[in-house]
Amino acid sequence: MFRKILIANRGEIALRVIRACRELGIKTVAVHSQADSESLHVRFADEAVCIGPADSKSSYLNIPSIISAAEITDAEAIHPGYGFLSENAHFAEICDSCQIKFIGPTAETIRTMGNKSQARQTMIQAKVPTLPGSEALSDPEEAKRFAHEIGYPVIIKAVAGGGGKGMRVVHTDASFLNAFMTAQAEAAAAFNSSEVYIEKYLEEPKHIEVQVLGDQHGNAVYLGERECSIQRRYQKLIEESPSPVITPESREKIGKVASNAVKALNYWGAGTLEFLYDKGNFYFMEMNTRIQVEHPVTEMVTGIDLIKEQIRIASGEPLGYGQKDIKMNGHSIECRINAEDPVSFLPQPGRITEFNVPGGPWVRVDTAVYNNYTVLPYYDSMIAKLIVWGHDRQEAICRMRRALGEFVIQGVKTTIPFHNRVFNNATFLKGNFSTRFVENFLSSNK
């Protein structure tokens, strides 16, 4: 096991890793920008190193500074959290060349699954169900012919994409060329690559993801699924486990497919296979080779600490359990609390003048915010994750309503009012919503 780990991240995920390390008896090193010098992850780590100015490129994305911080503090491993460098294959390679363990899969695996077109072909070889689609395309006319062949609607996706950037849905030949070139331009600006590919587009699917763990000894398990259909512009807002529509039979079927894919990839660490679910069928969308923001709901229903498992696996330990040992108990829901206007969703940086977190049985709040904390404009607007557990979905919903009512944040606008409305929406309560839920919900509330 490692003696000291550097955490190449900030905010609640950095604090989450520190907590796991403390329980494992591992010393921690926090890195921080000049703007984050008063952050909780800096306060609670055993050591802290400033790695640059406020902007991410000069600090949390500054690989030489992060490696230097690890070397001067004698950190044996680096946990990247999510976002920033967590799926950066070059960073993983640099860690390896400096004999610092990257807590995640190999650089080769990150690179393969980060290229969406290559990931798709890899999953086809692993017998994972996929939608009709193309390889990387650069010629607009060739792309248009392919779209016509598989039939509209189609979705154009950036090969190096993520977070909804470089994506366009097209319903007709007439609008295809403009959408294709727009997607290319957006992909080039966001990912320094204009490569895109095309897939058949499902109008109202569910977004279901499967949490997997693989070790360095060829073992793999799946830890159930998460329902992630409540999203806006491809950004998730509410997640739950299990999904209200997935049967035990479907769960076992897609779980086995996911764990077999992990074995085929020789994948180790925590990972998530994301699927579109439509009319009883699953279709591979992408794989995230890191811990997910919404990992707490899986922890709540399985009792497995995913961050500790990442660390143990990276240190070379076997999983120590098999699929038959994984038991799902009850229902968990997570709300992402963002410092955003609850109607326009525009970011709302500023100083928090009053802060009270909910408590009581089976309520968890992951946050690095405190009273008089300043929400900075340089980083993601998520300031807390509110997670609840119940014996069933109905109890979890009632507990979430109660917890949202206790959550007090003054000084900046947050998305708490939005969540309050959702948890009183009849469609949400029935569980029969799709990825179009928020779009339709917001339209009906204007």
How far apart, in Å, are the Cα atoms of 264 and each of 8, 123, 125, 155, 255?
29, 9, 9, 28, 14
Tokens of 373: 């904390």
**SS3 labels along 275-319:** EEEECCEEEEEEEECCCCCCHHHHHHHHCCCHHHHHHHHHCCCCC
Query: DSSP code of 22?
Result: H
Alpha-carbon gap, residue 346 to 147, rounded angstroms: 34
Distance linking the first and last C-alpha atoms of the chain: 54
Nearest-5° angle of CA 133, CA 137, CA 138? Answer: 160
Nearest to 168 by CA among 149, 145, 143, 192: 143
Catalytically annotated residues: 290
Is residue 271 a contact partner of residue 289, using CB atoms and an 8 Å limit? yes
In contact, 359 and 367? CB cutoff 8 Å: no
Three-state helix/strand/coil letters over 324-371: HHCCCCCEEEEEEEECECCCCCCECCEECCEEECCCCCCEEEEECCCC
Q: Which two tokens stand for residue 312?
A: 């143990």
Tokens found for residue 394: 């109905």
